[in-house]
Each structure stands twice: as C-alpha cells, then as structure tokens.
Amino acid sequence: MLKTVLNGVTMKNPVIAASGTFGFGREYDQFFDISRLGGISSKGLTLEERFGNEGERVYETPSGLINSIGLQNPGVDAFIREDLPFLRQKDTAVIANLGGSTIESYLEGVEKLNETDVDMIELNISCPNVKHGGMALGIKCDIAYEAVKQVRAVCKKPLMVKLSPNAENIVEMALRCEEAGADSLSLVNTFQAMAIDIYKRKPVFNNVFAGLSGPAVFPIALRMVYQVCGAVKIPVVGLGGIASWQDAAAFLMAGATAVQVGTANFVKPDICLDIIQGLEQFLKEQGCRSVSEIIGAARV
Amino acid sequence: MPVKHCESAVVVENKPLGNGIFKMIVWWPYPAEAGQFFMVRGWDKFPLLSRPISVHDADGERVTFLYEVRGEGTRILSEKKPGESVELSGPVGNGFPVEKIKGKVAVVSGGIGIAPLLLAVKSLSGCEVTLCCGFRNQSYALDSFKPYVQEIRVATDSGKEGHKGFVTDLFDPADFDVVITCGPEVMMEKLAKSCIAKKVPCYVSMERHMACGVGACLGCTHHTAHGAKCICKDGPVFEGEEIYA
Ligand SMILES: Cc1cc2nc3c(=O)[nH]c(=O)nc-3n(C[C@H](O)[C@H](O)[C@H](O)COP(=O)(O)OP(=O)(O)OC[C@H]3O[C@@H](n4cnc5c(N)ncnc54)[C@H](O)[C@@H]3O)c2cc1C
Ligand SMILES: Cc1cc2nc3c(=O)[nH]c(=O)nc-3n(C[C@H](O)[C@H](O)[C@H](O)COP(=O)(O)O)c2cc1C
C-alpha cells in the first residue's frame, strides 16, 4: 500500500531518513531494523574527509534545532569502503548525499559514486554551514543551474537535487534545476538562523549563522513544497520539521512523492516507524489502496 | 550492550535532596554500566530535545539518576511522581573501564559531576578508593558512597562544609594509581594535566551540548589524540591523555 517508486527506484514506503540526521544508519539500527525504512540518505559526503566546524554545533530553540556541523564526514572513499557495504546489507534504498565546495569536487565525487551500487545521488547544493560553496550554490539560480547541469552530464545515477529554503526564489530555483536535468528535487534543507549568547555578548556559533530545522520550520517548508510541486513536473521529496505521520501526510497531500524525516529522529529514535505505521493506518481508514491516492490530494 | 527506547519507564521514586538536586529511581530491567547515560524526556513536545542524564546507579532492575534542576527539562523531571513515567533511550556511551582500574583510586567530582561516579565505585573491585568531591555550599548523595570508599574528602566554594576552595587542593594525584573524574571542564582539565605530568592514568567523563546522544548528529564532536570523536558515542569517558595531552 505504501510502495513508492522514485526515479525508477522502488521503495517499500515513502519515508526516508534525512541526510545528516541518521549517520550511516548504524546508530539507529541499534533501536530498530532500518530495513523497514523506504530509504536512507547518508550524511553529507565530500570528496575529502572533513572535521567540520569548531565551537558550538547545536543549539535548541522553541520547537527547533540550530546546527552548525559543517559537513563533518569521512569522505566519499571511506564511505564507499566502510559504510556502503553495511547499508547495502539492509533492504532499503541507499541515497548518497553529496556536498562540496567547488564544482570540480562535486564532479569527482559523482564519478566515484557512479561506480558503486548506491541507488541515487542527492546533490546538496544547500548546506548553510560551509564557508565556500554549499549555500551560495543554493541561493543563486544561475549558479545552481550551471552546477546541476555539469553534474548531470557526468552522473549515471538518478539525480535528486536538494534545495535550500534560503534560495532567492524557491520556485525559480526548482524550475532551473529541473531544466538542468535533475530527476527529482528534495526540499528543504535548513533555514539560515542564528543565536546570541547574551552573557558572553557574542554569537553562539563561530560561523555566526547556522541552520534551523525541526517542527518550527514545518509550515514554511510545507508551503515551499506545495509551491514547487505546482511548478515542476519531476517528483518532489518533501521535508522540514516532520515529527508525526500527520505531518508526513500533509507533505504528500501538498504533492510530494515521498518525505524525509530529520531532526525528529533525535527526539524519538524510532519515529520513522511510527510515521510508516501511522500512514498505513490512515490510508486504510481513508479507504485508499495506495499511497499515490493521497499525493497532491490537497492541491487547490 | 543492548540499547533500547522505552516510551514509558515507570518512576519508582523521585526525591529532592536539597539545593535543587533530585534522585530519581526508574524501573529498568536491563543492564546499564558505570559512566553510560540515557537520553531522558518526561514531556511530549517541549523542550524539543531529550536530556542526557548519567547512570547514577543500576542493578539490572532499576536505574537511578541524580540530577540538578537547571532549566525546563530538569524542572519537568523534578515534578514526576512515583507511578508516572519517563521516556528513556539508552543506555548509551562508553563508560569507565572498571576492569582496568586497580590499586589506589582517587575519584574526583565537581558539583553534579558526582552523578556517574557512584556506579563507578560500586563496579570497582580490589581497589582502595578515596572520594574527593567539590560542591558549591553543601554536599549531597555521599551516604550512598560510604560503603564503597575508604575515605571521603569534601571541598566547598563557600567553605560551609569541608575545605574552602578547590577539590583539587584535597589530594595529590601522585599518591594514587588511577584518577577518575567528572565535573566542570576547567576542573577536569587542570586535574588531567596534572595527572599527565605525574604519569598517573586518568579517566575523564566529558559533557557537551548534544542533540541525538547516539553519534548521528555529530553535534558533540571533539578533537582527541585519536582524531575526531563523538562525546556521546565514543565517550563520554575518555583517557585524560586523549583529550588534554
Ligand atoms: C553525557 C552527559 C551526562 C549528564 N549527566 C547528568 C547527570 O547525571 N545529572 C545532571 O544533573 N546533569 C547531567 N548532565 C547535564 C544535563 O544534561 C543538563 O543539565 C540538562 O540537559 C539541562 O536541561 P534543562 O532543560 O533542565 O536546562 P536548559 O535550560 O536546557 O539548560 C540549562 C543549562 O544546562 C546546559 N545544557 C542544556 N542541554 C544540555 C545538553 N544536552 N548537554 C549538556 N548540557 C546541557 C545548558 O547549556 C544550560 O547551561 C549530563 C550531560 C551530559 C552531556
Ligand atoms: C544535525 C544536522 C545535520 C545535517 N546535515 C546535513 C547534511 O550533511 N546534508 C544535507 O543535505 N542536509 C543536512 N541536514 C539537513 C536535513 O537533512 C534536513 O534537510 C533539515 O534538517 C530539515 O528537516 P528536519 O526539520 O526534518 O530536520 C542536517 C540537519 C541537521 C539537524
């Protein structure tokens, strides 16, 4: 009933663990069998290993979390060698989330991933926490278009482009990425935000600005997904603040083909299972035979 | 060690010990080791994140937390009545390597840093333990330590009880075979550096803001002698040399 096909990849349900919130799956496999997920998007990978940012990295806000991790990751090669084999033992779609600082580094990363059995590449053109590249790409439509086009030219896997809510115009951005050859879009990444330590009289984060996620961003993310689904023809994966099956259902009704769950994993390690079960129950109650029946159902 | 998420772990007891310190006992018929912790919540949506709280004691049936009310999360915990429940994920983290610790041991705490040290001293065998603990004004929780330690030395900031001044004034690491400690970072840094200088093995239990508590968010990464480590998953207990050398 929940079976979902995204860019030719069949998933047992439309619930994907979001990049950067699920490691490479091992941490949460202690709590439940991660094969029950529709898919897992890896921690954002870069060509080289990165330590990430110094100083405070997480800060809680009312119903939200601001993070400044800075793409700490072991690098594409180490992922392929050490983490991908573990993920591949699991019966779930494996999405490699790829970040970068230069176009060249993206292209090199894609070429390495082309040679593996990852199901899909999620191109992160939207990380707010790296000084160069990352978000600049995600804000300016022209820069994004150019990057996606070049990546498309070398990418042999289904290509999902992850959009930033900080884009100058989210609908325009989506259209340009579609035009550049993206097979699907995922949105949103975190919202640029900040926190100030009033006793130290300085910003909490060394980078000053960082990214807000969690339930606080849900209504804005939903609005953006709704708008983008109305504009593009390619499938859209909705995320931002999902904390319950009801939130997931709302994204699907806005037109998303699938959803990703991020910050909520930190709150309840098996929240994705609750969401999957809740959706299934809801569809039954609604007399639906397939999840596809509610996709876009709330569009006016 | 199996890690579990339990949505309703029943509170058996939740007692104020004075000065905003509480001791909570929860049914937990599973193992938990010295120095490990749980991600704890006792509320639905607010605050968003669960709170890391150390295992103060555990016997395979119940786990005990010793905590200080700091803000909203710990305030809500302090209002739990026996029979009500809390949500627990854990136990998580790497605790004290109790099998490796032998001989004369100094167990050193600052403030609520005493919390993880009870199960630590209970888990040691064949050791002679001196507990050196610092508090703001007044000691707490020391009765539970008495059967397991040879000696207790107290320091307070105000001088109201024991020595007025730093807990580190109370002993010389050179007189011990091993030092284990949990407390404010400045205290642990000073102590660990002195242990390194005197070549006394030292274990520190670190604290950092963390979101997931299991090593997924990478919010509590710390530089160590062995590269980037998560305080939550690879720690919270480290060899002093890994962090401060
Ligand atoms: C591994 C670990 C074990 C701990 N064990 C204990 C324990 O046994 N007993 C105990 O009383 N406290 C313990 N703490 C500290 C405890 O987690 C915080 O005091 C608690 O999270 C504060 O939450 P709050 O909502 O009451 O206060 P808040 O209003 O959220 O914060 C009050 C203060 O606590 C600090 N704090 C908030 N969240 C965290 C966090 N996730 N990690 C560390 N500090 C935080 C804040 O910076 C602030 O200074 C431990 C922390 C860690 C990391
Ligand atoms: C701690 C943390 C780390 C993240 N790391 C990444 C990352 O490496 N790559 C990426 O594309 N998104 C990353 N994100 C963004 C999430 O995947 C997601 O887009 C965002 O948090 C919104 O969803 P949520 O509200 O459900 O968390 C991260 C988010 C958090 C909270």
Query: What's the confidence (pLDDT) of residue A127?
Result: 58
Domain count, chain B: 2
pLDDT, average across residues B210-224? 96
Taking the C-alpha atoms of residue B150 and residue A144, their distance in angstroms, rounded to an integer, is 67
Residue-wise pLDDT for A160-194, tens only, equals: 999 999 999 999 999 999 999 999 999 999 999 99
The residue ranges of every structural domain in chain A are 4-52+73-191+214-293
| Tokens 């090669």 -> residue | A77
Q: Are A258 and A225 in contact (CB under 8 A)?
A: no
Residues B105 and B213 in one domain: yes
Taking the C-alpha atoms of residue B121 and residue A39, their distance in angstroms, rounded to an integer, is 44
Query: What's the confidence (pLDDT) of residue A201?
Result: 98
Going from the Cα of B52 to the center of ligand 1, the distance in angstroms, rounded, reads 6
Geometric angle at alpha carbon A61, from A55 and A67, rounded to 5°:
35
| Closest-lying ligand 2 atom to the alpha carbon of residue A264 | 26
Q: Are B222 and B209 in contact (CB under 8 A)?
A: no
A69-73, A136-140, A227-231 — most confident range? A227-231
Does the pLDDT at position A25 exceed 80?
yes
Q: What is the ipTM of this complex?
A: 0.94
Taking the C-alpha atoms of residue B229 and residue B234, their distance in angstroms, rounded to an integer, is 6
Does the pLDDT at position A19 exceed 80?
yes
Residue-wise pLDDT for A49-65, tens only, equals: 999 999 999 999 999 99
Q: Which of B3, B48, B233 sits opposite A267 (nearest CB)?
A: B48
Query: What's the confidence (pLDDT) of residue A101?
Result: 77
pLDDT, average across residues B210-231? 95
Residue-wise pLDDT for B69-92, tens only, equals: 999 999 999 999 999 999 999 999
Q: What is the DSSP letter of A42?
A: P
Q: Which of B48, B50, B209 sits opposite A64 (nearest CB)?
A: B48
pLDDT, average across residues A280-292? 97
Q: Which residues contact A285 (CB under 8 A, 6 or more apart)?
A: none
Residues B217 and B130 in one domain: yes
In which domain, by residue range, is B193 found?
Answer: 98-244
B234 in contact with ligand 1, CB cutoff 6 A: no
pLDDT, average across residues B115-137? 96
Work out the mean pLDDT of chain B and round it to a whole number.
Answer: 96
CB contact under 8 A, B47 and A60: yes
CB contact under 8 A, B211 and A58: yes
Please state whether the peptide bond connecting residue B236 to the residue before it is cis, i.e. omega within 30 degrees of 0. Answer: yes
Residues B164 and B208 in one domain: yes
CA distance A82 to chain B (A): 16
Report the DSSP beta bridge partners of residue B115. none
Taking the C-alpha atoms of residue A256 and residue B72, their distance in angstroms, rounded to an integer, is 36
Residues B122 and B224 in one domain: yes
From the list A227, A263, A269, A230, the residue with the least C-alpha distance to A247 is A263
CB contact under 8 A, B215 and A62: no
pLDDT, average across residues A78-98? 97
A130 in contact with ligand 2, CB cutoff 6 A: no
CB contact under 8 A, B218 and A52: yes
Chain B residue at shortest CA distance from A213 = B48
Residues B183 and B64 in one domain: no
Q: Considering B72, B92, B112, which residue would you say is the last residue of a domain?
A: B92
Does the pLDDT at position B160 exceed 90?
yes
Query: What's the confidence (pLDDT) of residue B245?
Result: 83
Taking the C-alpha atoms of residue A18 and residue A41, their distance in angstroms, rounded to an integer, is 5
Residues B27 and B128 in one domain: no
* A198 or A129, greater pLDDT: A198
Q: In this structure, which residue's CA is closest to atom 6 in ligand 2? A: A20
Residues B46 and B104 in one domain: no
Does the pLDDT at position A116 exceed 60?
yes
In this structure, CATH architecture of domain A4-52+73-191+214-293:
Alpha-Beta Barrel (3.20)
Residue B215: list chain A partners with CB under 8 A: 23, 27
Residues B115 and B82 in one domain: no
Residues B108 and B221 in one domain: yes
Residues B113 and B191 in one domain: yes
The secondary element (H helix, E strand) that includes residue B204 is: strand B202-205
Residue A215: list chain B partners with CB under 8 A: 45, 48
Q: Which residues contact B36 (CB under 8 A, 6 or more apart)?
A: B1, B54, B55, B90, B91, B92, B93, B94, B95
Q: How many CB atoms lie within 10 A of CB A111?
A: 13
